[in-house]
Chain A
């Protein structure tokens, strides 16, 4: 079945000798997280044959916890997409309905869990890339507070926004995986101490009696009626268990998508500058189709490549990157260029601060915020790729969380027309226990 759904880019088993909380558990790892000796492509032709010489910190922690890695999960190229259709290795299909997308960009990771190809999975969430596919595939996904989980060994796309996060069939299992990967790391100076000796799994006790759940009207208004119906049924269920719900307003979120894409694209234009085909990645000589023999012919003339650095660099990137990656690098370069920096990048940072303040104010009145994870049901494969702007808009409910560096979880909240609907719960910074507790009540 795995081959049919195109879940893995590389299917290879790495056993662990260690005895720990994940002994006997299989884990799929998104293909932008470095695994020593195991090909890591980021879903890109650029890194088609890249084999990292070291493990990401989260992978080391998986191995130390006894987990068995079962493969590198397919993804939107460099994490840029919301459907896992921009991978250079082909689209992943949704196990719930193979004619539909699994969501993105961690679509392979979510699909691995939904299809039973792995007990657990790791994804990365830059603007919703764990929560979105969790919602579309009917599994649980957690985007941790920024700084809770080390990003060492994660191939960077937009480093001020992204976090590695767990997928699992249940809230308790996702929380258990988060317990394994959370905590400070000397190799990532943006990590914090809050994850030390965590017991997130223990928080999945379903006790929401007396909890106040805020519902931001702006995150419900534009959603598909069928999604809203399932969302409201899940809220009623929480009320029946003793939670109180109240409407709140987050005025700033109307500008969150614009701010998110300007910041993410700007960071991408900088982060992806490292792919020059010299230290790793597709080189210009490979890109132009030269054989091994032809390449060595060049080497006598110009260090293995035709032309100068800029020309060979630009050619390698033309060949190695797909359309969405080029689109974002170019838009990011534009937004940072002279004359446009103040208009786009600086205003986006203002919007980011505004969103953070809006959330802070909301959490003075409520314990947790709830919204549909995705405003739509999973689209059919190929349905949404032609219009990038429309695709960007589907991230409206998830990107505000990344801008504010907050934790959020997507938990299955029933179905509409036979397709999964996800409920998103957002907490204050390092409020993982609260969102896990609330999500576990949704499961009951």
Chain B
């Protein structure tokens, strides 16, 4: 297990980072499962260093105005909209 033990507090911390609320039962269940899964992932330590020479090219297009969704279409799935804007919660 070494450094991959995961306790409930750590699951809660990661859940906060990921912006996912969890109930207590989920926290307990995930803590147990994460210990197993992360121990399994530890096998990646055995992977040798590999030269990764990916052939990458940038794909660019001209920056031109094109047809797009209308404002109405873009807002069509929002729970709340007002005056052509998305309406969201307070930021802080």
Given A303-B80, A323-B26, check contact A353 B50 (CB 8 Å). Answer: yes
Give 1 or 0 for each of B28-67: 1 = CB within 8 Å of chain A CB: 0010011011101101111111111010000101000000
Determine the residue in chain A with the shortest Cβ distance to B92.
Answer: A308
List B contacts of A262 (CB < 8 A): 41, 44
Distance between Cα atoms of A309 and B86 in the complex (Å): 13
B89→A349 contact, CB < 8 A: no
8 Å CB contact of A330 from B15, B40, B45, B90: B15
A307 within 8 A of B: yes
A350→B47 contact, CB < 8 A: yes
Within 8 A of B (CB), among A186-245: 186, 189-190
Give 1 or 0 for each of A156-195: 1 = CB within 8 Å of chain B CB: 0000000000000000000000000000001001100000
Give 1 or 0 for each of A342-370: 1 = CB within 8 Å of chain B CB: 01100111110110010000000000000
List A contacts of B1 (CB < 8 A): none
Binds B, one of A97-105, A117-125, A278-286: A278-286
8 Å CB contact of B80 from A49, A186, A304, A388: A304
Distance between Cα atoms of A343 and B36 in the complex (Å): 16
B59→A189 contact, CB < 8 A: yes
B8 within 8 A of A: no
Distance between Cα atoms of A376 and B15 in the complex (Å): 34
B5 within 8 A of A: no
B37→A284 contact, CB < 8 A: no
A380 within 8 A of B: no
8 Å CB contact of A261 from B41, B59, B74: B41
A14 within 8 A of B: no
A255→B18 contact, CB < 8 A: no
List B contacts of A281 (CB < 8 A): 77
A86 to chain B, nearest CB (A): 14
B89→A302 contact, CB < 8 A: yes
A50 within 8 A of B: yes
Given A280-B78, A283-B79, A329-B20, check contact A304 B89 (CB 8 Å). Answer: yes
List B contacts of A329 (CB < 8 A): 18, 20
Within 8 A of B (CB), among A308-326: 308-315, 317-318, 321, 323, 326
Chain B interface, >50% SS class: loop
B1 to chain A, nearest CB (A): 14
B21→A315 contact, CB < 8 A: yes
8 Å CB contact of B20 from A50, A321, A350, A389: A321
B73 within 8 A of A: yes
A330→B11 contact, CB < 8 A: yes
B36 to chain A, nearest CB (A): 5
List A contacts of B16 (CB < 8 A): 314
A388→B37 contact, CB < 8 A: yes
A246 within 8 A of B: no
List A contacts of B36 (CB < 8 A): 389
A305 within 8 A of B: yes
Binds B, one of A70-78, A87-95, A331-339, A432-440: A331-339
Distance between Cα atoms of A53 and B77 in the complex (Å): 9
A60 to chain B, nearest CB (A): 14
B34→A304 contact, CB < 8 A: no
List A contacts of B92 (CB < 8 A): 308-309
Given A280-B77, A389-B36, check contact A317 B20 (CB 8 Å). Answer: yes
A259→B44 contact, CB < 8 A: yes
A334→B14 contact, CB < 8 A: yes
A333→B37 contact, CB < 8 A: no
List B contacts of A269 (CB < 8 A): 18
8 Å CB contact of B26 from A186, A315, A326, A348: A326
Distance between Cα atoms of A283 and B76 in the complex (Å): 14
Given A189-B59, A285-B79, A304-B80, check contact A258 B18 (CB 8 Å). Answer: no
Among B15, B79, B86, max chain A CB count under 10 A is at B79
Distance between Cα atoms of A305 and B89 in the complex (Å): 5
B44→A314 contact, CB < 8 A: no
8 Å CB contact of B37 from A310, A317, A389: A389
> 13 new A-B pairs (CB below 8 Å) besides A53-B74, A305-B89, A327-B33?
A51-B76, A53-B77, A261-B37, A276-B88, A302-B90, A304-B89, A309-B92, A330-B18, A330-B34, A333-B17, A347-B44, A353-B51, A354-B47
22 A–B pairs (Cβ distance < 8 Å), ordered by A: A49-B77, A53-B74, A53-B77, A259-B44, A259-B47, A278-B86, A279-B78, A280-B77, A284-B89, A299-B87, A302-B89, A304-B89, A314-B19, A317-B19, A318-B22, A330-B30, A333-B14, A334-B34, A337-B17, A350-B47, A351-B44, A389-B40
- Minimum-distance CB pairs A-B, first 4: A318-B21, A280-B77, A283-B79, A53-B73
